[in-house]
């Protein structure tokens, strides 16, 4: 697991990217990063439990300004699955499912659907331009209705949002130690959670990969062939790569997609 695609996403959480899914919460005023980790929660979905950080409070966002009103944007039209918040050369992205179709990755400025454009990407949601008006799209309620919740913000609204207490995120050392324990106890189980199939040629992404794989740009049928130059595909031997990759400060993952080479590099912090 550690040497294959599963390790890539374990390490992914230690980089400058922040992921959240299935917890509909308010957009924060601060830019504090909330790291994800392999910690259990009663609301976690088994296949993505090692990765995603769940939002601990609230089913619906409230706006502090009385000038804001809530609207719905086409039932089942949009579902926010993940965000990648990046400061620097990498552009922030959001993974959104439109009208129930497979999730796609959008960058700021991209058209999500007719009349809807992705304006800003934040750690707790995104801001959309809906026919010239700003709207906040948050993560869907845990176990809630099958629709995207939209908060329409009037032009004269202050934009200040109620803040809730959020539990401190685990330190990177704690995340590393948690994965180290899982790799030692059940590496094959960790591979299965990511819908990966080991083979002599690498790890093949299954038909129903978890959100985090889709959000990182992988597709069903992709084959992860190398990590930091080392061939992968054997769960037992790949587990020994974990410490090597941690020490290197980056994870360089090579993917084969129908004969086309793709390389993903994740700086670690």
Domain end position, chosen among 152, 177, 212: 152
Count of structural domains within the chain: 2
165 exposure class (CB count in 10 Å sphere: 0-12, 13-18, 19+): exposed
Are residues 231 and 199 part of one domain?
A: yes
Establish if 19 belongs to a structural domain: no
User: Which of the two residues, 114 and 156, has the higher pLDDT score?
Assistant: 114
C-alpha distance from residue 127 to each of 91, 156, 194 (Å): 15, 17, 29
Q: For the ranges 12-21, 32-41, 89-98, 220-229, which has the lowest average pLDDT?
A: 32-41
User: Are the C-beta atoms of 107 and 95 separated by less than 8 Å?
Assistant: no
Name the 3-class secondary structure at 266: strand
Are residues 119 and 193 part of one domain?
A: no
Six-digit token string for 1: 């697991």
Establish if 34 belongs to a structural domain: no
Establish if 26 belongs to a structural domain: no
Total length of the chain: 269
User: Which of the two residues, 205 and 81, has the higher pLDDT score?
Assistant: 205
Burial 108-118 (b: 16+ CB within 10 A, else e): eeeebeeebbb
Domain end position, chosen among 152, 185, 207: 152
Establish if 86 belongs to a structural domain: yes
Are residues 144 and 55 part of one domain?
A: yes
Six-digit token string for 89: 């050369």
The half-sphere exposure of 166 on its side-chain side, counting CA atoms within 13 A, is: 20
Mean per-residue pLDDT over the chain, rounded: 65
Establish if 36 belongs to a structural domain: no
Q: Which domain holds residue 209?
A: 5-14+168-267
Establish if 89 belongs to a structural domain: yes
Are residues 251 and 221 part of one domain?
A: yes
Establish if 250 belongs to a structural domain: yes
C-alpha distance from residue 61 to each of 12, 24, 154 (Å): 28, 7, 15
Residue 155: per-residue pLDDT: 35
Domain end position, chosen among 104, 122, 152: 152
- For the domain that residue 172 is a member of, what is the CATH number? 2.30.42.10
d(CA 165, CA 85) in angstroms, rounded, equals 21
Are residues 218 and 122 part of one domain?
A: no
């Amino acid at each position: 697991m550690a040497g294959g695609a599963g390790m890539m996403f374990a390490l992914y959480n230690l980089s400058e990217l922040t992921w959240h899914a299935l917890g509909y919460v308010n957009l924060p005023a601060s830019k504090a990063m909330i790291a994800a980790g392999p910690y259990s929660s009663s609301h976690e979905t088994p296949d993505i439990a090692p990765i995603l950080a769940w939002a601990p409070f609230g089913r619906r966002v409230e706006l502090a300004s009385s000038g804001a009103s809530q609207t719905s944007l086409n039932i089942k039209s949009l579902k926010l699955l993940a965000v990648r918040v990046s400061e620097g050369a990498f552009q922030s992205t959001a993974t959104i499912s439109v009208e129930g179709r497979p999730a796609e990755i959008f960058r700021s400025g991209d058209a999500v659907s007719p009349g809807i454009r992705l304006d800003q990407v934040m750690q707790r949601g995104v801001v959309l331009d809906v026919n010239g008006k700003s709207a906040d799209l948050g993560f869907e309620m845990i176990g809630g209705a099958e629709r995207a919740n939209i908060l329409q913000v009037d032009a004269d609204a202050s934009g200040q949002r109620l803040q809730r207490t959020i539990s401190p995120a685990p330190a990177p050392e704690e995340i590393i130690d948690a994965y180290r324990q899982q790799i030692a106890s059940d590496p094959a189980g960790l591979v299965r959670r990511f819908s990966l199939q080991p083979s002599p040629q690498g790890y093949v992404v299954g038909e129903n990969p978890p959100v985090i794989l889709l959000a990182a740009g992988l597709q069903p049928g992709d084959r992860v062939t190398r990590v930091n130059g080392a061939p992968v595909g054997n769960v037992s031997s790949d587990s020994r790569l974990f410490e090597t990759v941690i020490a290197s400060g980056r994870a360089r993952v090579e993917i084969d997609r129908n004969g086309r080479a793709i390389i993903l590099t994740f700086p670690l912090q």
